[in-house]
Chain A
Amino acid sequence: MMRILQNLFQFDEPDSVGTKIQLRAFEFFAVTYTLIYTWEWAFYIPRLSDVVLPLGLANYIDISVFFTNGISIYNAVLISLFTLIPLLFKRVRWLYAIAFVLFHLQHVARFSQGEIPHSANLVAFSLMGLGLAALFFKGMKNELSFAFGFTLFFFGLGYTSAAISKLVATGVTWVDGYHLWLWMGEKSIDILSLQGEFQYNWLQELAFNSRFLATLILSFGLITELLGFTIWFKKLRPYIVIMLIGMHVGIDLTMNIFFKTFSIQLIIMGFFWNRYINAIPGVEGLNEHPLVKKILLY
């Protein structure tokens, strides 16, 4: 357990410019995507009229109140304030915890129509990590390294539990290429519905022509997901991240679902950017630059 904790939360050079840039990049990413999702949902929610499927807290409160009187817009304003203030001013950082709860409400209001998407899950875990860090740790260095490791933990857990869900629900035959054919057909209808037209691409054509290739594609996906927990270990992290990004590119090519947010976050968190940045000659001088220190670093 101690080994996992060290791998998740301990940075080689915690006070270096490289580490500060990587941790702040993680925080800027989390806030930026929280705001992108929040506002995208805010303008869609007023169109809704009926709760088809209550999720999360919507099981206990009447989330349809978000559909009227601009509540989703007011909520978006609050989320914006409660994330931008701690991000830019580096104070009252416990506001992240409140922003997380409001973000949850915005999500369950938007996705009360039956769809359960997971594209924003890791952004929400990042926000939760930042909120918990502010409540239980003191100082930006400790807070950010906790939030970073906390998010990595749920990254690994999420991918591995997705693989276990497949093995429990279907078994090892999940990788049978026939299943990919069915899903490619299913997703083709979503694209047809969205765009009014659809053409299978080269990889989809190849997979339809070869059950073996389709089986290989699914096998790679399942093994990669199963190994997701290895992101917890520094030595293995860049390799599994490359495999996971490869898997997401494969999912995009075969099923037309691109997990853009997951992929960007994997790139920010999955490589040792701090080491690469620290290797740049003279970069340590940024630690003393007043403006950079005030806005970008800490």
Chain B
Amino acid sequence: MDSFKKHKKILLWTLLVNILLVATHLGEFWPFSIFPMFSQAGKEWSRGVVEQVEDSTRADLWDTKPISEIEDRILPLKDYGIHEIDFANFITKTKVWNEKRLNGMRSTFQIDQHPGEMWLATRVRGYMDERDSVVIEAIPMFLFTADTTIKNPHLFPEP
């Protein structure tokens, strides 16, 4: 039974380190975690998709629309080696869209390697409406073309 004393000691010390690290690092110090995924239920959520654009002069380009309207124009990110969760986080968690962050997005997602394409980075928002139905809407953010990045004028009005 003597050997279990050592087991107990190591286990309790590791547990203490675990508690101290997660308590001081917002619940995460990998692999220590309080495993908070999906803990906040019923909240509005945000994700991201990329819409393929054929005509950038389209009248409704910058309008917020139901996801069903753009479903058949979504770029399959797996074909471009882009990690969809990284993309969603990039677009939903960035608070200040300065030039550095926009260029970071271009390089992380290798947008410049596809010069013939026009990609509309789109935030997708989901929530329950007053009739208890799930509403999912697409909010265009940035249009990436071969050499320019154009911000949605409704969200980022020129000063």
Q: How far is the CA of A159 from the CA of B78 in the complex (A)?
A: 31
Segment of A85-93, A186-194, A283-291 in the binding face:
A186-194
Instruction: Give the residues from 1 to 17 in chain B that come closer than 8 angstroms, CB to CB, to chain A.
Output: 1, 3-4, 6-8, 10-11, 14-15
**B84 and A193 within 8 A (CB):** yes
**B6 and A136 within 8 A (CB):** yes
**A9 and B7 within 8 A (CB):** yes
Q: Would you give the shortest CB distance from B142 to chain A, in whole angstroms?
A: 15
**A113 and B30 within 8 A (CB):** no
**B76 and A194 within 8 A (CB):** yes
**B30 and A56 within 8 A (CB):** yes
Q: How far is the CA of A124 from the CA of B116 in the complex (A)?
A: 42
Q: Would you give the shortest CB distance from A131 to chain B, in whole angstroms?
A: 11
The 4 nearest A-B residue pairs measured at CB: A114-B89, A196-B76, A162-B35, A124-B31
**B104 and A49 within 8 A (CB):** yes
- 22 CB contacts below 8 A, A to B, read A5-B7, A6-B4, A9-B7, A47-B108, A50-B108, A53-B89, A55-B29, A56-B28, A107-B30, A114-B89, A115-B89, A120-B31, A121-B33, A150-B14, A164-B34, A179-B42, A182-B41, A182-B42, A182-B128, A192-B67, A193-B84, A196-B76
Q: How many residues of B contact A (CB 8 A)?
A: 65
**A118 and B107 within 8 A (CB):** no
**Which residues of chain B are within 8 angstroms of A280 by Cβ–Cβ distance?**
none
Q: How far is the CA of A16 from the CA of B44 in the complex (A)?
A: 54
Given the known interface contacts A49-B108, A142-B3, the answer about A166 and B41 at a Cβ–Cβ threshold of 8 Å is: yes
The residue of chain A having its C-beta at the shortest distance from the C-beta of B110 within the complex is A47
A residues adjacent to B (C-beta < 8 A): 1-2, 5-6, 8-9, 44, 47-50, 52-53, 55-56, 59, 104, 107-108, 111, 113-118, 120-122, 124-125, 128, 132, 136-137, 142, 146, 149-150, 153-154, 157-159, 161-162, 164-166, 168-170, 173-174, 176, 178-179, 181-183, 185-186, 189-190, 192-198
Q: How far is the CA of A142 from the CA of B87 in the complex (A)?
A: 45
**B34 and A161 within 8 A (CB):** yes
Pick the residue among A117, A157, A176, A193 that contacts B74 (CB under 8 A): A193
The residue of chain A having its C-beta at the shortest distance from the C-beta of B67 within the complex is A189
Instruction: Give the residues from 64 to 113 in chain B that come closer than 8 angstroms, CB to CB, to chain A.
Output: 67, 71, 74-79, 83-90, 92-94, 100-101, 103-104, 107-108, 110
**Which residues of chain A are within 8 angstroms of B128 by Cβ–Cβ distance?**
178, 181-182
The residue of chain B having its C-beta at the shortest distance from the C-beta of A196 within the complex is B76
**Which residues of chain B are within 8 angstroms of A164 by Cβ–Cβ distance?**
34
Q: How far is the CA of A174 from the CA of B49 in the complex (A)?
A: 28
**Which residues of chain B are within 8 angstroms of A181 by Cβ–Cβ distance?**
128, 134
Given the known interface contacts A50-B101, A182-B134, the answer about A192 and B74 at a Cβ–Cβ threshold of 8 Å is: yes
Beyond the given A125-B31, A136-B6, please list 15 additional residue pairs across the A-B interface where CB-CB is below 8 A: A44-B83, A48-B108, A59-B25, A104-B30, A115-B85, A137-B6, A146-B10, A150-B10, A162-B39, A170-B39, A170-B41, A182-B42, A189-B48, A193-B84, A193-B88
The residue of chain A having its C-beta at the shortest distance from the C-beta of B30 within the complex is A56
Q: Would you give the shortest CB distance from A256 to chain B, in whole angstroms?
A: 11
**Residue among B15, B28, B39, B103 facing the most chain A CB atoms (10 A cut-off):** B39
Q: Would you give the shortest CB distance from B89 to chain A, in whole angstroms?
A: 3
**Which residues of chain A are within 8 angstroms of B43 by Cβ–Cβ distance?**
182
Pick the residue among B4, B28, B33, B87 that contacts A193 (CB under 8 A): B87
Q: How far is the CA of A176 from the CA of B27 in the complex (A)?
A: 25
**A50 and B100 within 8 A (CB):** yes
Given the known interface contacts A48-B108, A132-B14, A193-B49, the answer about A114 and B86 at a Cβ–Cβ threshold of 8 Å is: yes
The residue of chain B having its C-beta at the shortest distance from the C-beta of A142 within the complex is B3
**A56 and B42 within 8 A (CB):** no
Q: How far is the CA of A183 from the CA of B41 in the complex (A)?
A: 9
